[in-house]
Amino acid sequence: MNRFGSQPRINPARPGLWRRHAKHLFLAMALLVLASVFWYLKRPQGLVDQGGKGLDLLAGHAGDLVTDLHVTQFDAERIRWTLDAPSAQRGEEKRIVIHHPRLEFALQGQENVVVTAEGGDVDGASGRMEFSGRVEAGDPVMGRLMTEQLRFDPEKRILYTEHAFRLERESMRLEGQGLTLEQETRRLAVAGHVKMTFPAAILITEQP
């Protein structure tokens, strides 16, 4: 009761108005959280483009050229692979043409697998890579793999080719047509036309 002897008037619409505002606020926050989760799942996983040169090419026009390309992918602070090239050029449909690329797998507890080639091509949408022209890949354990064309799928983490190849080690030589190499396990699967030879010196030492 006020000093004039009458009850204070309360606006009955005010509590409902606050409830509506709170409802809209909680709905906006929920949508913001969902949008953040969607962006997190769709973003390139741990992709670092040093200097933004690869992104500059994707945003540019066909024929644009950059030098000293360096891109690294990591997962939970662990490097998955690193791609280097002295120069790269924008192609058609979000493709990047790389000159004399060098791809390196950084695996825990194992020697790094290094892939080199005369040329390459990166799909800017999927991240898949194709290496061509005197392609060599390997490490001291796996040996030296040679072919004319080799592809890399960063999502499946495999190297593969349908072309003829030769894998040389100190103790043997493996040849065939088509192969798949798993990045993590080093498991090698050959499609066909398998031929395995051994150096004569080893055959001689194994004779009684």
pLDDT digits 0-9 by tens, 2-43:
455 555 554 554 555 556 666 666 555 555 544 444 433 344
| Residue 50 Cα to chain centre, angstroms | 15
Quick one: pLDDT at residue 117?
97
Express each pLDDT in 138-190 by its tens digit.
888 788 999 999 999 988 889 999 999 999 988 889 999 999 988 878 788 99
Which of the two residues, 6 and 128, has the higher pLDDT score?
Answer: 128
Quick one: pLDDT at residue 87?
92
Q: How far apart are CA 131 and CA 119, in angstroms?
A: 6
DSSP annotation of 117: -
CA angle 58, 62, 65 (to 5 degrees): 75
Q: What is the CATH number of domain 47-206?
A: 2.60.450.10
Burial letters 148-169, b for 16+ CB under 10 A, else e: eebbbebeeebbbbeeebebee
Quick one: pLDDT at residue 187?
85
Express each pLDDT in 68-108 by its tens digit.
988 888 776 678 889 999 999 988 878 889 999 999 986 66
Quick one: pLDDT at residue 57?
75
Contacts of 66 (CB under 8 A, 6+ apart): 53, 54, 56, 57, 87, 88, 89
Helix (H) or strand (E) holding 16: helix 13-42
**Domain ranges within the chain, ordered by starting residue:** 47-206
Tokens of 105: 């797998």
